[in-house]
Structure 1
Amino acid sequence: MTEPEQKPDISLRLLEIFGAMMRCDTTVEAAEQLGISQPAVSNGIRQLESQLGVTLFERLHRRLEPTEEAMLLFEDVRPVFSMLRNFSARARAMRHGTSGRLRIMSTPPLGNTVAPVALARFLKDRRDVSVAYDVRRLEHVIDAVQNGAADIGFGLALERHPSVNIETLARTHMVAVALKEHALAAKNEVAVGDLVEHGFIGLEAESRMGQMLRNAFERDGAPYEPRVEVRYCATAALLASAGVGAAVVDPYSAMQQFSHGLVQRPFQPPCEVAAVMITRKGVPRSRLLHGFIAEMKRAISEAAIVT
């Protein structure tokens, strides 16, 4: 019983040499195109012919002319060369951070203010980049980054976490916001006692901002009794712009309502708020991710929030 004929093991490098010879007139020209020596081209062609058992080129008038078999084989492998060029181009784009997919998730304060500015700049010269962008609650952002569903997350008032990396991008303070017609708008700063006197929009205790606000009231020995209570700072700022009352929110949420007649004042006692970046532990950052982080830092810096 005879053994089945073994299929030739042809390397992509040999096919690359074959393709160059089909496009060039001489082995010298093919060598220059590939960036290798002329003997390497000749040896490659001989090796490929040996593996295939087919003569690919004949020397005529001091030139190598492709045989009919070579012409037929070249048509078959032409798509391979196109795939290799596309593969190389995509790899170069990924290496330079101009191609790929990025998954971004943020809480509302940053996700609805500075992050869109950063994203627009990031995508401007990256036509081959696609982005999944979502705005969720902080616990959802952390979970998504931890399990790999998001490449990066952004949030506020999170100093550390055992399951993800936390990097502070900026430190600000919570501010009091109210319509310019409100009694508190005439003050240079708003204290806990002022809110108690005039009524205010509060934040739920389940949120980090809500906990910080309650702690401020406790430090001043004042009762925490909001007229209206909401979960998000953005909602509190929106209600303040509608004339419901004053609110204490993070400065990024206050940014969203500047065009609605709101004024903001420093809040006493000071409640520091850190804007943070959340990334997965043990996972190196791609050039694409580095590019977006740079734009996010730039956008936060340009926001010039001073409280």
Structure 2
Amino acid sequence: MMEHDTDLPDISLRLLEIFVEMMRAPTTIKAADALHISQPAVSSGIRQLEAQVGITLFERSSRRLTPTAEAWQLYEEIRPIFTMVRGISRRTRDIRLGLVGRLRIMATPPLGYSTAPRALQKLLNDRPGVSVSFDVRRLDEVIDAVQSGAADIGLAIAQHRMETVNVSLLHRSQMVALVPEESPLARQPSVSASDLSGQPLVGLERDSNLGLLVRKAFDQAGAEYLPHVEVRYCQTAAMLAAHKLGVTVVDPWSARTAPVPGLVERPFTPVCEVRAVMLTRRGVPHSGLVRTFITNLRAAQDEVAFV
């Protein structure tokens, strides 16, 4: 007939910890110091463990505890358990400090090609145990990914409030004009919508956030907004402007990602403020890894000089 486990002793993990330390330490004083408890607590713990397992683990003589043969057998059995526990403790510490784990980032192109790579470089240099999933998408996709938990953090140029995700400001700046260096406009301290009226213009799509912002600035100045070419992304607009297809107005992150030869950057007026923001999921506390990346993001942004 099979025996039931109900006859097995109920052994305390804390008492086993005291036992393991006592097997390693030459005296109860040393074991107590290592465990940050009193010497009587060590002696009491050993007696309790012996009572639980029904085995004499130490011979007591001249105020010393000498392990018995049974103690050495038990020690060899449980030593791997405490090696594993120490490994778990180290892993837990590394997770808490953001030294290991996987970080999922999604960004719109302006920050995805400028600030984010700087922050990622710092993160991965300091924490080689971290892996990263990184993607560049449109704003609505970034918001959806953060809201659903598919991304831990989102980065975007966003002007409006968002009800579905947490929004933290990273940096405020303003739109800039990119004009040919040989143009008279390049000699001006700033370029206005009126200055660009009548010029060949590479514009942003009218239904995009930044496109609407630039169009409102032209309306405010009483200037016509008539792009010869419309594009969705500011990097595309800068590239086309470099190929002499027209002047353009873009966000400063896109303008500074890879400065285009032959173009000069000037502040655009009327001022169009743009905000770089970080998006995180509502109701979910930041992990140590996310907190570390946010710190790196702010440091990376401070390294970039904007108008």
**TM norm structure 2:** 0.90
Displacement of 1:253 in angstroms is 0.2
How far the C-alpha of 1:26 sits from its partner, in A, is 2.2
Deviation at 1:264, TM superposition (A): 0.8
Partner of 1:227: 228
Residue 126 of structure 1 aligns with an amino acid whose one-letter code is: R
Q: C-alpha displacement at 1:3, in angstroms?
A: 8.9
Counterpart in 2 of 1:112? 113
Which residue number corresponds to residue 248 of structure 2? 247
Task: Measure the CA separation in 1 of the matches of 2:262 and 2:49.
Answer: 77
Is there any run of 5+ residues in structure 2 with no aligned partner, and where?
A: none
How many angstroms does 1:52 deviate by? 2.0
CA change 1:82–1:259 in 2 (3 A) is farther
Deviation at 1:297, TM superposition (A): 1.6
Q: Give, as a single letter, the amino acid of the residue that structure 2 aligns with 1:152.
A: I
Q: Once the 2 structures are TM-superposed, how far is the Cα of residue 271 of structure 1 from its aligned partner?
A: 1.1
Using the alignment, how far apart are the partners of 2:261 and 2:56 within structure 1?
A: 80
Equivalence map 1:90-129=2 (5 Å)? 90-129=91-130
1:75 aligned partner: 76
- Look up the SS of the partner of 1:15 in the other structure: helix
Deviation of 1:182 (Å): 4.3
Q: CA contact under 8 A between 1:158 and 1:276: conserved in structure 2?
A: no
Contact 1:241 1:257 in 2 (8 A): no
Looking at structure 1, the residues matched to 5 and 90 of structure 2 have their Cα atoms a distance apart, in angstroms, of 37
Q: 1:178-189 residue pairs with structure 2 within 5 A?
A: 178-182=179-183, 184-189=185-190
C-alpha deviation, 1:229, in angstroms: 1.1
Instruction: For 2:209 and 2:287, locate their aligned partners in 1 and report how far apart those are by CA, in whole Å.
Output: 31
Tell me the secondary structure at the aligned position of residue 303 of structure 1: coil
Other structure's SS at 1:277 match = strand
Aligned counterparts of 1:139 and 1:235: Cα–Cα separation in 2: 19
Residue 297 of structure 1 corresponds to: 298
Question: Which letter maps to 1:86?
Answer: G
2:26 and 2:79 map into 1 onto residues whose CA distance is: 18
Root-mean-square deviation (Å): 2.3
Q: In 1, Cα distance between the equivalents of 2:49 and 2:287?
A: 38
Deviations 1:41-78 (A, max 9, x none): 12222222222222222235653222222222222222
Matches within 5 A, 1:130-149: 130-149=131-150
Unaligned stretches of 5+ residues in structure 1: none
Q: Distance in 2 between matches of 1:49 and 1:57?
A: 9
Residues of 2 paired with 1:99 and 1:3: CA distance?
Answer: 44
Q: TM-score, normalised by structure 1?
A: 0.90
Map residues 147-296 of structure 1 onto 2, 5 A cutoff.
Answer: 147-182=148-183, 184-296=185-297
Structure 1 residues 9, 183: CA separation in 2 closer, same or farther (over 3 Å shift)? farther
- The one-letter code of the counterpart of 1:10 is I
Q: How far 1:226 moved relative to its partner?
A: 1.4
Contact kept? 2:194, 2:222, Cα under 8 Å? no
Report the CA distance between 1:183 and its aligned residue.
5.3
Aligned residue pairs total: 306
The 3-state SS of whatever aligns with 1:197 is coil
